[in-house]
Structure 1
């Protein structure tokens, strides 16, 4: 009788103090670094520690592969990204435009999908990122005007005024756009686009997160705010916009 009681107690103890560890093959990879017990169980603790250390309190880097006269790019930047991501998360993201898209390079010459005017505006955007601070608000303004069927010249005039761009900066943009600096910046945009890793873009707009290019990740564009909250590694800190989304 005593033996039976001891066996029963022992079995109860075992059942309440052990648990079945989850199969790592069934744990979504984006969960691995969320908990060090999971990371250790799945053999990725060292990689997760490195990721958390190197990413702590650093902005999420977002590249937008785009074309200035692409209607889909204009809608994405004007109707979605600027308001839902840039304005809300500007303290937690580093936005880089790569105005090249599906253009083609032949030596030092570039042909753009929507013609010579697009090449001109793409170059202007490359120059704006060098000479306007902050550049993205200004580019947004230009894209908004182009989306509303303004000419490029009208868009420039309106956005210079709206964004209070100094005359000296306007002059530098002009020199850059139609000079060697602009050509070099566009060749740089071409090289960035051609070096997308591990996958090349198929369509534009196209987003690259922390220099990782995945075609399968493009569906995240509709929920980039939630994704930024997941990717941002804050030490004992949650960005305020994320609290609104939770």
Structure 2
């Protein structure tokens, strides 16, 4: 089946099933076998999208947040860490520390205005530099999670957390955060956040395989483990809860 035919099939299906048994945005129809069955596009998805057993891809999950946001911190503590611990092997996690900040260019540098004040901007850049310098998420995620669940100023939290984990070069991270490199890296986080479609209107803001809907957001904030497990197309790991039968149920808003 070529791309034109598949798009036609999807368009016809969208008209006929959105308010029937299928209540998913078209972008998710091939994200899992269960959704494809509901939306009557199983054959098309199997031919066009579904990978073989040996080619199953992890679920891409991106969190857009800001370092001192109470709701973002709660999300780290209540949902993200549990999901990363239990089903991190089937999830490609991306962290984007910028959130509701705003930026303007002054000369060769960027100035950031953060929702929770200057210290939040400091925290954002420290975490951005940690991601850039460490590169390995299995090392930088525990460090950032620690920062997001530690009270106090971001620099103090970074110093405390750096002592708890191996592979954290705090001097390099802090040096980056005060340099033109850190300034440019945070600008890149701003570009990534501002490119969201639909544009973000709050934080934490999440995307699942590049898609954001209110249903995805609600599920991520209430049961992220199950959301990742239901979206994953391969054999579920032990961390997935077998008893859950979560289904997304909203069509796109007009």
TM-score normalized by the length of structure 2: 0.75
The worse-fitting range, judged by mean Cα deviation, of 217-226 and 185-194 is: 217-226
Deviations 1:42-74 (A, max 9, x none): 456334533312994211111111110111111
Q: Alignment partner of 2:63: what SS? A: strand
Name the Cα RMSD after superposition. 2.7
Counterpart for residue 95 of structure 2? 97
Q: Aligned partners of 1:32, 1:214: CA distance in 2, in Å?
A: 14
Q: Alignment partner of 2:150: what SS? A: helix
Counterpart for residue 163 of structure 1? 165
8 Å contact from structure 2 (residues 126, 173) kept in 1:
yes
**4+ residue runs over 6 A deviation:** none
Q: Alignment partner of 1:208: what SS? A: strand
Shift in Å, 1:38: 4.5
Counterpart for residue 109 of structure 1? 111
Alignment of 1:119-130 (within 5 A): 119-130=121-132
Counterpart for residue 15 of structure 1? none
Q: Aligned partners of 2:29, 2:70: CA distance in 1, in Å?
A: 38
Gaps of 5+ in 1: 1-22
Q: Aligned partners of 1:194, 1:187: CA distance in 2, in Å?
A: 10
Shift in Å, 1:238: 2.0
Shift in Å, 1:153: 3.3
Q: Alignment partner of 2:184: what SS? A: helix
Distance 1:155 1:92, change over 3 A: same
Tell which has more relative contact order, 1 or 2 (C-alpha 8 A, sep 6+).
2
2:189 is the alignment partner of 1:189? yes
Distance 1:204 1:53, change over 3 A: same
2:17 is the alignment partner of 1:27? no
Q: Aligned partners of 1:32, 1:231: CA distance in 2, in Å?
A: 11
Deviations 1:151-191 (A, max 9, x none): 3333122211111345xx22221221111221111111111
Count of matched residue pairs: 214
Q: 1:139 aligns with which of 138, 144, 147?
A: 144
8 Å contact from structure 1 (residues 207, 213) kept in 2:
yes
Counterpart for residue 6 of structure 1? none
8 Å contact from structure 1 (residues 196, 213) kept in 2:
no
Distance 1:54 1:208, change over 3 A: farther
Distance 1:200 1:48, change over 3 A: farther
Distance 1:118 1:36, change over 3 A: closer
Distance 1:32 1:203, change over 3 A: closer
The worse-fitting range, judged by mean Cα deviation, of 181-190 and 216-225 is: 216-225
Alignment of 1:181-220 (within 5 A): 181-197=181-197, 199-220=198-219
8 Å contact from structure 1 (residues 60, 92) kept in 2:
yes
> Which structure shows the bigger proportion of residues in helix conformation?
1
2:223 is the alignment partner of 1:223? yes
Q: Alignment partner of 1:106: what SS? A: strand
Over alpha carbons, which structure has the higher Rg?
Answer: 1
